[in-house]
Amino acid sequence: MTVASERKPLVVRPETVVALPRHVQLKFDKLREMWLLLAPERILTPDDIAVRVLQLCDGTRSVHQVCEALAEIYAAPIDRIEADVIVMVQDLATQGYLQSVETGA
């Protein structure tokens, strides 16, 4: 379809810079004592690593820089982390919980 081809799904690469869109909010819920990701009609409970990733995806870091930060936090080699993080960020982006900060992407 012509209309659809004008909007392309985001392909996440190490240099991609992503952030939470305005309609997606990460918050710690004191009553339930857990982290929540709020989106229209959906509420998710990200696990600890996902929370870290989402916090680091603040629109200033590239995915590679997010991995560098994680490598430090978890004292793990970056090449072990990067492939997993790209899959996770890609999945979150495909579902609309993260978006590229470059306009038009």
Partner 1 sequence: MMDTSFHEPDSKLAPGVGTTHGLPVAVLLEVTHRCPLQCPYCSNPLNLERPAAELATEDWVRVLHELADLGVLQVHFSGGEPMARRDIVELVAAATDAGLYSNLITSGVNLSRERLAALAEAGLSHVQISFQGSESETADRVGGYRNGHAKKLEAARLTREAGFPLTVNAVMHRQNLHQLPEMIDMAVELGAQRIEVANVQYYGWALRNRAALMPTMEQIETCNRIVAEAEERLRGILMIDYVVPDYYAVRPKTCMGGWGRQFFNISPAGKVLPCHAAETITGLDFDSVRDHSLAWIWDHSPALNRYRGTDWMAEPCKSCEHREEDFGGCRCQAFALAGDAGATDPACSFSPLHDEIFRVAETEAAADDMSFAYRNYLTPVPGE
Q: Which residues bind partner 1 (CB under 8 A)?
A: 1, 3-4, 7-10, 21-23, 25, 29, 31-32, 34, 36-38, 40-47, 50, 88, 91, 93-96
CB of 83 to partner 1, least distance (A): 15
For residues 17 and 92, which CB has a smaller minimum distance to partner 1 in the complex?
A: 92
CB of 72 to partner 1, least distance (A): 22
CB of 94 to partner 1, least distance (A): 4
CB of 82 to partner 1, least distance (A): 16
For residues 5 and 75, which CB has a smaller minimum distance to partner 1 in the complex?
A: 5
Q: Exposure of 64 by Cβ count < 10 A (0-12 exposed, 13-18 middle, 19+ buried)?
A: middle
| CA proximity to 99, closest of 41, 69, 51, 58 | 58
Whole-angstrom distance, CA of residue 59 vs CA of residue 73: 19
Contact assessment for residue 12 and residue 89, using Cβ atoms and an 8 Å cutoff: yes
Contact assessment for residue 27 and residue 36, using Cβ atoms and an 8 Å cutoff: yes
